[in-house]
Structure 1
Amino acid sequence: MTPISGSPQSGYYQPLKPGRGRLLVPLTVIVVVLVIASTVIAVVKLTGNSDGGTPVADTSDRSVVAPTTTAAVPPTTSTPTDGPAVDPKAQAAAVDAVLDASISSRKKLNDAIDLVNKCSFLDKAIGDMQTVGTERQSQIDSVSKFDLSGIPEGEQVRAALKEALGFSLAADKSFVPWGQAELSSGCNGGGDGYYDEAQRQSKNATDAKNRFLGVWNPVASRYGLRTRSSNDI
Structure 2
Amino acid sequence: MPTASATEQPSSAQAQAAAVDQLLGQAANSRQQVENAVTAVEQCADSPSVSSAQSVLIRAALDRQSLVAELGSLNVSQLQGGAPAMLTLSRAWSESAAADSAYARWAGAMADGRCTAGSSPHTADWDEGLAESGKASADKNAFVVAWDPIAVRYNLPTRSADAI
Same fold (TM over 0.5): yes
> Which residue number corresponds to residue 78 of structure 2?
150
Residue 95 of structure 1 pairs with residue 26 of structure 2: no
Distance apart, 1:157 and its partner CA: 2.0
Higher helix share: 2
Using the alignment, how far apart are the partners of 1:226 and 1:136 within structure 2? 21
Using the alignment, how far apart are the partners of 1:84 and 1:206 within structure 2? 29
> Which residue number corresponds to residue 113 of structure 1?
38
Using the alignment, how far apart are the partners of 2:143 and 2:22 within structure 1? 15
Matching residue's letter, 2:36: D
The TM-score with structure 2 as length reference comes to 0.85
Q: What is the aligned length?
A: 151
CA distance 1:89–1:194, change in 2 (3 Å): same
> What does the per-residue CA deviation read over 1:111-158, in whole Å, with 9 as the maximum and x for residues that have no partner?
111211121411211111111011011000000000112212221121
Using the alignment, how far apart are the partners of 2:9 and 2:19 within structure 1? 16
Residue 160 of structure 1 pairs with residue 88 of structure 2: yes
> Which residue number corresponds to residue 199 of structure 1?
130
Please list every run of at least 4 consecutive aligned residues from structure 1 whose deviation after the TM superposition is greater than 3 angstroms: 188-191
Q: Which runs of 5+ in 1 are unaligned?
A: 1-82
Q: 2:56 aligns with which of 104, 113, 128?
A: 128
CA distance 1:231–1:84, change in 2 (3 Å): closer
Distance apart, 1:91 and its partner CA: 1.0
The TM-score with structure 1 as length reference comes to 0.61
Q: Which runs of 5+ in 2 are unaligned?
A: 1-7
CA RMSD of aligned residues (A): 1.7
Matching residue's letter, 1:108: Q
Larger radius of gyration: 1
SS in 1 for 2:79: coil
Matching residue's letter, 2:25: D
CA distance 1:184–1:90, change in 2 (3 Å): same
> Which residue number corresponds to residue 163 of structure 2?
232
Taking CA–CA contacts closer than 8 Å with sequence separation of 6 or more, which of the two structures ends up with the larger relative contact order? 2
Matching residue's letter, 1:204: K
